[in-house]
Each structure stands twice: as structure tokens, then as C-alpha cells.
Amino acid sequence: MSYMSEHRHSPYDNTHFSRFFHPTKGQHMIKVMPGGLYCTDEEEIICTGLGSCIAACMWDPFAKVGGMNHFLLPFDNSNQARHWHPDEIVSTASRYGSHAMEMLINALLAKGAVRSGLKVKLFGGAQMLGRHSMIGAKNVEFILNYVQQERLEVEAHDLGGIEPRKIMFEPTTGKAWLKRIAFNEVHHLQHEEEKYARKLDEESHRPHDDDVELF
């Protein structure tokens, strides 16, 4: 059965997400696309599909506000990914990952969350076949380093491995559900991530006047 849906621009990052009503669950569901985020204080469910990408699910249990991002570190080639380290804060990959996390944190703070009260659950970073085989591991390396340096409280994580994931997140309570996706069902997800990765590669070669905003 298909559901009525609408594509919108996030108020925080100019990327699309899809919002639809799920009649069985009796709730609105918001699917976060690669490169996007969604933040809310409503009783909704945020969902996404993850291959090599990372999704950080973050919430403030007292303010009852939460959100999710969906990001991939950009690398020009496998050699660059192999030698990259998360402490290289001047690299494009590190700046992009930090920017994706700070955007989510800032969106939560704008809705009344307190930074010291934020809790996090982390998902993704699968070792997909082909182009993303190294990127998944580097995404995991980045996010674990980031939450440690930023002293964010990680309540749970499911990272790495070889199977893609579907994630559902209840932003006002912090509850999360994970379903592993068999490889024979992964073609659409892999296509989305490849398209996203190509876009990141193209953008990394363009001059930016606002690079400072990525720190």
C-alpha cells in the first residue's frame, strides 16, 4: 500500500526529507535523505536507510526534542580515505562530518534543548562492496572520535559490520528501532548513497567562500 507523501526542505540545511502519514502506526513519519537532517518536538517517527553513511540520533529527554542527521564523509579516492585520520580537522572530510553534527546540535538547541543534556545513539558505517568499502570504516572512526572529543553521552550504537540498516527513531523519547537489510534488498539504498557521494566529490572541487562555517 502506498502512502501520500510530500517532499520538503529542512529549515536547517536546504536538503530534502520526505514526510508521510503511516496509517498502521497512526503517526507521521519523516524519512531523512542522505545529507539531510530533521529535528522536531512533535510525536513523530524519523526514519532512514543506511549503508556506509552514519545517522546520529540525538535528543534531550527533559526538553522532549530530538533529531537525526544522515551524512557521509567525502573522499576523492580510496587512497585519500585510507590515509585520513579523524584528528585532521583541516581536511574536507573532517570539516564536513563536524559540520553535519554541529548542524544537528544547533537545530536541537534552537528548539529548547540544553547541550549538556543531549543523549546520542549512533548507527551505520557498514562495509559495503565496491566504492564504499573503506568509507564505512572511516565514517565510524570519525563519529566515535567526535562524540568522545565533544563529550556527548552515547547511550547506544550499532556501527560497522557488513549489513545495511533501516533505522526508526522516536525523537521525544529517544527510542530507536533497527532492522538489518539483506544484500539482495540493498540496490536502491546503494544507488542513493552513490549519488550522494558523487555530489560530495563535485562540491569538494568547487571553491567555497564560506568554508569557515564548516568548523
SS3 of 95, please? helix
Could you list the mean pLDDT of each consecutive 10-residue stretch along the chain, which spans 215 residues? 37 57 79 92 93 96 96 84 83 89 96 97 86 83 96 96 91 94 66 69 49 26
Does the global pTM surpass 0.95? no
Alpha carbon distance 98, 100 (integer Å): 5
From residue 169, give the alpha-carbon distance in Å to each of 33, 116, 160. Answer: 14, 21, 19
According to CATH, what is the number of the domain 5-214? 3.30.1330.200
Q: Per residue in 17-53, pLDDT tens?
A: 777 777 777 788 899 998 899 999 999 999 999 999 9
From residue 45, give the alpha-carbon distance in Å to each of 52, 78, 112, 169. Answer: 22, 35, 19, 6
SS3 of 57, please? strand
Q: Which residue in 177, 184, 193, 172 sits closest to 36, CA to CA?
A: 193
Alpha carbon distance 40, 45 (integer Å): 10
Domain locations in the chain? 5-214
Query: 118 and 106 in contact (C-beta within 8 Å)?
Result: no
